[in-house]
């Protein structure tokens, strides 16, 4: 299996998170983009302020690598208008895919109408501009029942408001990879959480993000039914090695 076609190579650390100066962190991001081009990964997932750089590098290399970015990252609590503005700016900079962080805290608090509205408006913006949209639900912040309910909510909003031909362009995604868990519990995709998502997302596709660190684990996710895998250790996974990456 060519696992590379499933891999969204990811670099999302801010300067402070990386413990680097702005120029040094820019160099790391540049290296991730170049690696995605050289290795032929499906996509490079980068922060919004680096979308234009990634698009420029990929275009100049005559590469088919897609550019993805994160919206409302990583807490997901930004307002709907703030998320839409960030998404629109990324579209103008040439992004191919928009990974919104769902306001899972609002969902947990019972504010389902807000969540439905942002899913509808965020998805509409992406679809109207020919973009793939993914909704990150942050499985580590949810219990099993909540994972099922939020996945189903996203699915139902999409099925009720969009035509079947776009269903494959709207994913439910497991994690940001930046959620802080207690007692060293997993903060990304796990087999149990992905199974719940797959049971409740169809016909929408699922992306497993965070926690996939070996080729074997990536293969297991694909065999379960995921269509994308987000990882900052894409090259190691593709080479059959274990990544030491935290995401």
Q: Which residues are catalytic?
A: 99, 173, 207
Which helix or strand (DSSP H or E) is residue 173 part of? strand 170-173
CA dihedral (55, 58, 63, 64) in degrees, to 10, reads -30
Q: How far apart are CA 133 and CA 114, in angstroms?
A: 18
Q: How far apart are the first and last CA of the chain?
A: 22
**What is the distance, to the nearest Å, from the Cα of residue 33 to the centroid of all Cα atoms in its chain?**
16
Q: How far apart are CA 246 and CA 233, in angstroms?
A: 9
Return the DSSP state at 94: T
SS3 content of the chain, % helix, strand, coil (to 5): 50, 15, 35
Residue 41 to residues 27, 64, 152, 219, 235, Cα–Cα distance (Å): 19, 9, 30, 15, 9
């Amino acid at each position: 299996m060519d696992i590379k076609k499933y891999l969204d190579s990811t670099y999302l650390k801010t300067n402070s998170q990386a413990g680097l100066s702005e120029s040094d962190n820019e160099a790391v991001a540049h290296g991730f983009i170049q690696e995605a081009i050289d290795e032929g990964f499906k996509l490079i997932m980068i922060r919004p302020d680096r979308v234009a750089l990634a698009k420029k590098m990929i275009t100049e290399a005559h590469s088919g690598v897609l550019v993805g970015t994160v919206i409302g990252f990583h807490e997901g609590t930004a307002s709907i208008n703030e998320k839409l503005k960030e998404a629109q700016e990324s579209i103008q900079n040439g992004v191919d895919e928009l990974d919104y962080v769902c306001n899972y805290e609002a969902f947990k608090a019972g504010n389902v109408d807000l969540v439905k509205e942002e899913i509808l408006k965020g998805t509409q913006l992406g679809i109207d501009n020919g973009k793939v949209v993914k909704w990150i639900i942050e499985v580590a912040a949810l219990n099993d029942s909540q994972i099922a309910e939020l996945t189903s909510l996203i699915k139902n909003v999409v099925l009720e408001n969009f035509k079947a031909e776009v269903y494959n362009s709207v994913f439910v995604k497991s994690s940001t990879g930046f959620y802080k868990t207690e007692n060293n519990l997993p903060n990304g995709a796990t087999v149990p959480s992905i199974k719940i998502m797959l049971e409740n997302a169809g016909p929408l596709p699922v992306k497993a993000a965070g926690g996939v660190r070996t080729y074997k684990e990536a293969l297991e996710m694909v065999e379960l039914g995921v269509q994308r895998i987000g990882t900052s250790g894409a090259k190691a996974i593709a080479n059959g090695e274990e990544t030491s990456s935290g995401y």
